[in-house]
Every structure is written in C-alpha cells, then in structure tokens.
C-alpha cells in the first residue's frame, strides 16, 4: 500500500509545464545521474527514462564533464552524464543493453574486491539475512546502541525492508561493517553464502572488459566499498583509493581516471580523502551530494542526482529538470535491495 501511495504522489507532482520551465532555467547546468542496479522487472521503465534523456537532453561522458569543470569547455545545453556505482551483474545483463540501444555513454564505478568475489557489499548481507531469516522476531544489537540488544519484529516484508534500511544507514557510519554483519547473520539464524548470490552478485571481470571495450568508462569505487571518511588509518585509506585503481587497471589493461566516494554524503569523505584521490592520479571524484554543475564546481566533489531504474517516469522527469532545487531533497546513498 505504501509503495502505491508513493507512486501516486510522485505522479501527482508531475506538471509538464513546470518540467519544461525548470529544464529551460537549468539548461546550462550539466547533471550527473546516479544509478546502482537494474532489475529485470524495471528494464522497460529504464528504457523510457533513456528515451526521455535521448530526446530532450544531451548525454555526455564523465571525461566531457571534467573538461567542462576544469577547463570551462562548453557543453551542449541540458547535458547529462550517467554514472553507475558498485558493479552489480545486472548492469551488464539489463542496464548496458538499454544504454547501447539509445547510444548513451556511462561510467561504471566498480569495487574490485566485489568483482574478485572476495566480499559481499555489506548492505546486501543485511538484506539477505533479514529476508532469509526463519524468525518472526529477533534480538539485534544495532550500531549506536551497543549496550543491549533490542527486539525487532520480522513479521512482514515491509518490516524486514524497513529494518534493513535502518540497520544499513546506521552501519554506514562505522569503519568496519564486517563484524556487525556476522553478528546480525548469527542472531537471525542465517548462514551467509561465501560469495554473493543473485540478485546481489557482481559483474565478472570478463563482462567488465567487454563494457569497457564498448564505450563504458570504468572508474573506482574503492577496493572494498569502505566509507573513507570513517577510516582512521592513512594506509588503509590509501589502499582503498590507490589499490582499487591499480587492481582495475591491471585487470582492464586501460587507465582509470574517475573515482566515486562510497556513500558520498556529508561526513562520508574528508579533505584528506580528496587530497589522496588527487595524489592517486584520478581526474575527478563524484559524491552523492545533490545538485547540478556550474562554473564553480570542484572536479573532486562533483554533486549528482539520485535516479534509479525503478523511479516513476514522471518523477524522474521532474527530478532531472531540477525539482530537488525546490524541495530541499537530499540523496539517500544506502542501497537496500530485497528478494
């Protein structure tokens, strides 16, 4: 019921005249859109988004965005760059074919350890454990309230989804999520598979090389998707930032120029992190701070607009045109998928 209400509300917000006006007002401000995954059930919706982008906007690459910001090289009106974080397998299976159909360039920010099958993405562990737990309620210790476990109801999909979101947001402020994940799984009586299973699995290196050979830019999203602003050891920071680039370049046999801060919101990266990204040789870094680009944009703190293959088309149009400018909207960086 809640999702139906939200879709209805988003549709009610849509006003074609307002969309055209906002799009025209912000026509000289390039946008960067953020995507994460592309469920098979949302392919047609994503295709409608891409059709709108191709018809009314000018898709550009992140290289072109950098020359706009760094060199003030003009871009076409209503320029928009597509970026995709993490590196889920469905990017290759369902997202990339749609982008190719509409001749839209994109940048995939990959997590090398995820592609190496050395780790799950931690919020997916939480989601998997909650959706596979046989319990109707569970005692869990949530970060920020470690003194005693609290009892949470697991009676419905909605309850489990809400709890997954709550826990994931709480965990995003800690420097090592792995110990929390194991505790949650044990308390939920779930054995996590050694490697991610569908729909949580990663793109393969062979598939990533194929994307790179067919127009995708591949960027870095750190080695293990650790939130750099929570890391205190400088060597760990350098490994996440430098090591990820080295691994990507070794596996793809091509240079990696672009970086994406994990989570990427306020407090998720520091000035030290920005300097380390510069020193590593990247030419840009994107965040999840919401906004468009102008002449004063910083190549290493680029704002983006959160999208999603499942976003209602009318709301997508309004958000792309600049609705967030008038609603005090913020991006929500933590992704939580369900079965």
339 domain-assigned: no
Judged against a pLDDT cut of 70, whether residue 6 lies above it is answered with: no
Q: Give a yes or no: residue 164 inside a domain.
A: yes
Would you state the pLDDT for residue 2? 52
Q: 187, 207, 222 — which closes off a domain? A: 187
**Domain presence at residue 143:** yes
Give mean pLDDT, residues 166-187: 87
Name the burial class of residue 134, with classes exposed (0-12), middle (13-18) and buried (19+) by CB atoms within 10 angstroms of its CB: exposed
What is the per-residue pLDDT for 338? 42
Tokens linked to 236: 């760990």
201-237 pLDDT tens trace: 999 999 999 999 999 999 999 999 999 999 999 999 9
Same domain for 41 and 169, yes or no, is no
In the predicted structure, residue 335 carries a pLDDT above the cut 80: no
Q: Is the pLDDT of residue 182 over 60?
A: yes
Q: Is 212 in the same domain as 312?
A: yes
**Based on the domain organization, do 113 and 213 belong to the same domain?**
yes
Burial, 320: exposed, middle or buried (Cβ in 10 Å; 0-12, 13-18, 19+)? buried
Whether the link from the prior residue into 227 is cis, omega within 30° of 0, is no
Tokens of 35: 């995507």
Q: Which of 153, 187, 221 is the last residue of a domain?
A: 187
Q: What confidence tier does 327 reach under pLDDT thresholds 50, 70, 90?
A: low
Residues 205 and 305 in one domain: yes
* CA dihedral (238, 239, 243, 244) positive or negative: negative
Separation of CA 179 from chain center: 23
Backbone φ, ψ for residue 112 (5° rounding): -55, -40
Indicate the range of 47-61, 160-174, 204-218, 250-264 predicted with least confidence: 160-174
Give the CB-side neighbour count of residue 42, counting CA atoms within 13 A. Answer: 18
Question: Does residue 292 sit in the same domain as residue 264?
Answer: yes
- Cα separation, 106 vs 95, in Å, equals 10
Q: Which structural domain range is residue 262 located in?
A: 2-119+199-326
Tell whether 315 is covered by a domain. yes
> Does residue 336 surpass a pLDDT of 60?
no
Residue showing tokens 């009318």: 314
Average pLDDT value over all residues in the chain: 91
The band of 173, judged by pLDDT with boundaries at 50, 70 and 90, is: confident
Cβ pair 39, 199 in contact under 8 A: yes
Tell me: do 181 and 208 sit in the same domain: no
Do 154 and 106 fall into the same domain? no
CATH of the domain at 61: 3.20.20.370
Residues 35 and 101 grouped into a single domain: yes
Q: Is the pLDDT confidence value at 8 over 60?
A: no
Of 326, 324, 312, whose CA–CA distance to 9 is shortest?
312
- Report the share of the chain in percent with pLDDT over 70: 91
Three-state SS at 124: helix
Would residue 155 count as lying in a domain?
yes
With pLDDT > 90 as the criterion, what percentage of the chain qualifies? 79
| Model confidence at 171: pLDDT above 90 | no
Please count the structural domains in the chain: 2
Is 85 among the domain residues? Answer: yes
Residue 71 lies in a domain: yes
Lowest-confidence pick of 214-223, 234-243, 326-335:
326-335
235 inside domain:
yes
Same-domain check for residues 131 and 47? no
Judged by DSSP in three states, 7 sits in helix
pLDDT at position 195? 92
Q: What is the DSSP letter of 201?
A: P
Confidence of residue 156 (pLDDT cuts 50, 70, 90): very high
- Mutual orientation of helices 122-132 and 157-171 as an angle, nearest 10°? 150
Based on the domain organization, do 150 and 92 belong to the same domain?
A: no
* pLDDT > 50? residue 339: no
Q: Is 147 in the same domain as 294?
A: no
Q: Which of 140, 155, 187 is the last residue of a domain?
A: 187
Task: Tell the residue number behind the tokens 């290289």, with chain if given.
Answer: 63
Same domain, 216 and 178: no
pLDDT score recorded for residue 299:
97
- Asked whether the CA dihedral 76, 79, 81, 82 is positive or negative, the reply is negative
Report angle CA 171, 175, 176 to the nearest 5 degrees.
75
**CB burial of residue 233 (10 Å; 0-12, 13-18, 19+):** exposed
pLDDT given at position 1? 45
> Over the stretch 95-120, which tens digit does the pLDDT of each residue have?
999 999 999 999 999 999 999 999 99
């Amino acid at each position: 019921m809640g999702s139906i209400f939200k879709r209805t509300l988003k549709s009610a917000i849509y006003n074609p005249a307002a969309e055209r006006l906002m799009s025209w007002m912000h026509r000289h401000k390039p946008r960067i859109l953020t995507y994460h995954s592309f469920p098979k059930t949302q392919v047609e919706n994503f295709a409608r988004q891409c059709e709108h982008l191709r018809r009314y906007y000018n898709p550009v690459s992140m290289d072109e965005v950098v020359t706009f910001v760094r060199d003030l090289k003009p871009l076409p009106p209503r320029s928009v760059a597509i970026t995709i974080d993490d590196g889920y397998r469905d990017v290759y299976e369902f997202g990339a074919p749609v982008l190719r159909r509409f001749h839209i360039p994109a940048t995939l920010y990959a997590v090398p350890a995820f592609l190496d099958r050395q780790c799950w993405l931690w919020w997916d562990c939480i989601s998997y454990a909650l959706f596979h737990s046989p319990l109707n309620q569970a005692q869990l210790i949530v970060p920020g309230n470690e003194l005693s476990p609290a009892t949470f109801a697991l009676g419905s999909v909605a309850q489990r989804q809400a709890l997954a979101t709550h826990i994931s947001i709480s965990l995003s402020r800690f420097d090592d999520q792995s110990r929390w994940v194991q505790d949650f799984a044990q308390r939920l009586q779930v054995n996590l598979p050694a490697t991610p299973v569908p729909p949580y699995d990663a793109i393969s290196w062979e598939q990533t090389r194929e994307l790179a050979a067919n127009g995708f830019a591949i960027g870095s999203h750190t080695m293990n998707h650790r939130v750099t602003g929570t890391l205190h050891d400088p060597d760990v920071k350098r490994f996440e930032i430098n090591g990820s680039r080295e691994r990507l370049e070794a596996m793809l046999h091509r240079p990696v120029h672009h970086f994406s801060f994990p989570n990427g919101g306020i407090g998720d990266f520091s000035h030290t992190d920005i300097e380390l990204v510069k020193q590593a040789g990247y030419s840009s870094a994107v965040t999840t701070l919401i906004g468009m680009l102008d002449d004063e944009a910083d190549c290493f703190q680029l704002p983006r607009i959160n999208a999603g293959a499942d976003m209602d088309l009318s709301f997508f149009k309004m958000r792309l045109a600049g609705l967030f400018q008038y609603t005090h909207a913020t991006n929500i960086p933590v992704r939580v998928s369900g079965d």
